[in-house]
Amino acid sequence: MSTISQPPHAASRSADDATTPVLIRGARPYGDAPTDLLLRAGRIAALGEQAAATATHLAEDGTPALTVEAAGQIALPGLVDLHTHLREPGREDAETVETGSRAAALGGFTAVHAMANSTPAADSAGVVEQVHRLGREAGWTRVQPVGAVTVGLAGERLAELGAMAESSAAVRMFSDDGQCVHDPVLMRRALEYVKAVDGFVAQHAQEPRLTAGAQMHEGAVSAELGMPGWPAVAEESIIARDVLLAEHVGSRLHVCHVSTRGSVEIIRWAKSRGVDVTAEVTPHHLLLTDEQVRSFDPVYKVNPPLRTAEDVEALRAALADGTIDVVGTDHAPHPEQAKECEWVDAAMGMTGLETALPVLIATMIETGLMDWRRLAEVTSERPAQIHRHAHLGRPIAVGETADLVLVDPAERRTVRPGEHATKGRNSPYAGRELPGRVRATFLAGHPVVLDGAPATSRTGRTADRTVAP
């Protein structure tokens, strides 16, 4: 095992000004007419004819641009994931910030929000700063730590939310994800307290008593398989309570991984009432159902569980009409032994960073439920707005941060988890053909992915974790 040694000059390599200019030729922003884009000094410097002209000038001045041919490819703002499990610190056998953020880059994500359920939990300034620093050193994507709501995610007392907010990681999103902040008083206090730091609480809505020992969605399939059921009401009752609490104290609530039709209806009602609530859906809840559990393959074991076809349909409609604001991957890598066992003993969760965009193309674009502009909203613009990242999730326009992804929507590939950059092999799509391939990802103008493969990170790392010469 080689250790990563970081040369002292690495930081200077990441300076935007030092990045080679990039000329993207013939890409279709949001699926619109083909155009050229020039990326320079971390920003989109020019579009259209101006882009090629500027590139020519730069070449004459001795700084030739890297030319990326993108005919037929869709240009989208870099994806922003509000829900990623990077496992570091503590479960480096499952994932590290390095492998997870490289997987993110390959999936087209230019920012990920690392959930707090690491070991130790990200419930202090020290841990969130550590994760933030690891993300910057990796340089494949922006890693924004999420802070725990309660100490050790134990649901008993508030973690030091203020200290995490004031830390160099500047935490604004607080979540005990994996655990529900089920105590109503604690949830109320958390919603109130985060107002002081312009933060918000992202709730994993799961009533623990209604889901003790639960293994899968409670319904016709669980009845047949004889597995303890996970009723939809266990999610919906918490969401109903939380939107009312958020309204009462005037705070911001974000609902993680909404998975039922009933949850959608409650959120729609809350929004119509003016409650400051936003909601997320995962790619897997847009595609898979509890029918998959009939295989007893633990790769389909996930929290919240896969629901019914009716729920999938409601979630797709809600994402299209704006009731659900964003897509979050809930990327949850696990080591093999955590899934190669009996269902009841298996860990919950599935990988998602490298398959999110293909699943969205299959479920939302190819079905005609949304266009590329709406896809950019739910994958980039809205998540950045929810976190109040001023310079992320911006439109593809001159002067904006050059976080971009190029997608070939026509290429269809069979998912092979063994080829993924994440350490997790627990992809529920293994063997499934999905449309769309990320051809290139630009992080502040720096190509972290080219030709569908990792190039170099902003800190000069390559896929084999060495630092490029």
Instruction: Tell me which of another protein, Zn ion, none is bound by residue 269, counting a contact when its beta carbon lies within the kind-specific cut-off of 5 to 8 angstroms.
Output: none
Select the binding partner of residue 453 from Zn ion, another protein, none (C-beta < 5 to 8 A, by kind): none
Please, what is the minimum distance in Å from the beta carbon of residue 343 to another protein?
5
Closest CB to another protein among residues 92, 297: 297
285 binds Zn ion (CB under 5 A): no
Cα–Cα dist 258/238, whole Å? 11
State the Cα–Cα distance between residues 42 and 403, nearest whole angstrom. 8
Q: Of the two residues 336 and 433, which places its CB atom closer to another protein in the complex?
A: 336
Does the footprint of Zn ion cover residue 339 (CB under 5 A)?
Answer: no
Helices (H), 204-260: 220-225, 232-249
- If the CB atoms of residues 222 and 456 are measured against another protein, the closer one turns out to be 222
Q: Indicate whether 43 belongs to the interface with Zn ion (CB under 5 A).
A: no
296 binds, among Zn ion, another protein, none (CB under 5 to 8 A by kind): another protein
CB-nearer residue toward Zn ion: 177 or 403: 177
Q: Least distance (Å) from Zn ion to the CB of residue 120? A: 19
Residue 204 found at the interface with Zn ion (CB under 5 A): yes
* 339 vs 344: CA distance, rounded Å: 10
- The C-alpha atoms of residue 60 and residue 424 are separated, in whole angstroms, by 46
Tell me how far apart the alpha carbons of residues 244 and 234 are, in angstroms, rounded to a whole number: 16
Q: Which run of H or of E encompasses 411?
A: strand 404-414
Please say whether the beta carbons of 174 and 147 come within 8 A.
yes
CB of 98 to another protein, least distance (A): 28
Residue 368 vs 418, nearer CB to another protein: 418
- Count of residues for the chain? 469
90: left (phi over 0), alpha (psi -120 to 50) or beta: left
> Which amino acid appears at position 28 of this protein?
R
Judge whether 154 and 183 are in contact, CB under 8 Å.
no
CB of 258 to Zn ion, least distance (A): 11
* DSSP state letter for 120: S
| Closest CB to another protein among residues 289, 401 | 289
168 contact, one of another protein, Zn ion, none, CB 5-8 Å limit per kind: none
Tell me which residues touch another protein (CB under 8 A).
215, 218-227, 229, 231, 295-297, 337, 340-345
Q: How far is the CB of 223 from another protein (least distance, A)?
A: 3
Residue nearer to Zn ion on the CB measure, 146 or 440: 146
DSSP strand pairing (142-145 vs 109-114): parallel
In the chain, the amino acid numbered 177 is D
In 197-231, where does DSSP find H-type helix? Answer: 220-225
- Distance (Å, rounded) from C-alpha 254 to C-alpha 247? 13
Q: Identify what 71 binds: another protein, Zn ion, none; CB under 5 to 8 Å per kind.
A: none
Name the minimum Å distance from CB 331 to Zn ion.
11
Round to whole Å and give the CA distance between 18 and 41.
7
CB 271 within 8 A of CB 323: yes
- Calculate the alpha carbon distances from 64 to 58, 67, 69 in Å: 6, 9, 15
Please pick, among 330, 403, 408, 464, the residue that the annotation labels catalytic: 330
| CB 287 to Zn ion: min, Å | 18
Q: Residue 177 binds what, of Zn ion, another protein, none (CB under 5 to 8 Å, by partner type)?
A: Zn ion
- The DSSP-derived string for 161-192 is HHHHHHSTT---EE--TTS----HHHHHHHHH
Residue 340 near which of Zn ion, another protein, none (CB within 5-8 Å, type-dependent): another protein
CB of 344 to another protein, least distance (A): 4
Give phi and psi for 138, each to the nearest 5: -70, -50
Of 95, 123, 129, 177, the residue at the interface with Zn ion (CB under 5 A) is 177
Q: Specify the stretch interacting with Zn ion by CB under 5 A; choose among 85-93, 174-182, 263-271, 428-436.
A: 174-182
- Select from another protein, Zn ion, none the partner in contact with residue 11, using the beta carbon and a kind-dependent cut-off of 5 to 8 Å: none
User: Encoding tokens for residue 128?
Assistant: 């969130």
Q: Which is nearer to Zn ion, 176 or 354 (CB)?
A: 176
Give the C-alpha distances (Å, rounded to integers) separating 369 from 10, 112, 383, 459. 44, 25, 20, 39
Residue 93 annotated among the catalytic residues of the structure: no
Binding site for Zn ion (CB under 5 A): 177, 204
Return the active site residues.
330
